[in-house]
Amino acid sequence: MPTRNATVLPSVLLYVPGDRPDRFAKAEAASPGVILDLEDAVAADRKATARDAVRAHIAASAHAAKLWVRVGRATLHDDIEALRDCSGYAGIMLADATRDTLAQLTEQLPHIPVIALVESAAALDQLPEMAAAPNIVTFGVGEVDLLADLGLRRTPGTAHVIDNLRFRMVHAAAAAGLAAPIAPTSLDVRDTASLTSSTEHLRDLGFGSRTAIHPDQCAIVADVFTPTAEEVDRAQRLLAAFERAGGAVAVDEHGRFIDAAVLREARSILFRAGLEGATA
């Protein structure tokens, strides 16, 4: 649960190429969060067209508050210039983030929330420094690029190593009081059972949301990361019991002590459910 930044992240963020404005409204209808991509999804000779399309859509959209814009490290200057006069959108996802590029973005657009996408070994080493940036919301994981940079193959035998890399981002975000990181995209848009199980696994590792590349993935991912009605009800009852105790020892309906860890979990559930009164 974030303590430094008031930005509330959606349970799922759907990528859409920045040069495909015909897909923007459809993406907004399919997902609670949308990433208008100016980076990998757009060919080099289409970058200027994409920037113009993204700027125009942000200005005209009734749902601009759910829009994030992914910018590229190699084109960072031009992407920043394109967004300098934009307002009302949720924030920026910085691809292949490093300490230096994050500092550049923070200096140029100091009031815009940023998701730092970790895609290199260098970025892994710089997690604590990046987590201290004033406008960072959390980390995302560009897992394909990260594994390639490390020379790490995705096999059953390396699954525990990959989970360890993922947890480093969870740890760094939690230690800095940031929102839980955004889990990497599943490239399989047809196997819904696999998408569900992998999303549950990432949730259990400490991730708070996940990116998607197809509208059909959004409902599945959102369902995994959204607390159930039963979880919300229990969390509300725990907090109510604690408040009734007025600072004395509190117990739940089963006579179990309500300690600080139990309270943090209850507040986290209510926060992820989008309910008020769930601050740290």
Distance CA 8, CA 1 (A): 9
pLDDT in the model for residue 238: 87
Amino acid 217 reads: Q
Distance CA 15, CA 113 (A): 18
* pLDDT, mean of residues 66-70: 97
- Residue 5 scores a pLDDT above 80: no
Of residues 227 and 52, more confidently modeled: 52
Tokens coding 30: 């399919």
Q: Can you give the pTM of this predicted structure?
A: 0.88
Fold of 12-225: TIM Barrel (3.20.20)
Domain residue ranges in the chain: 12-225, 229-272
- Stretch among 184-193, 216-225, 243-252 having the lowest mean pLDDT: 243-252
* pLDDT, mean of residues 211-236: 93
pLDDT in tens, 176-198: 989 999 999 998 888 999 999 99
Contact 267, 278 (CB under 8 A): yes
- Residue 77 scores a pLDDT above 60: yes
Distance CA 194, CA 184 (A): 14
pLDDT in tens, 256-279: 878 777 887 787 788 777 775 444
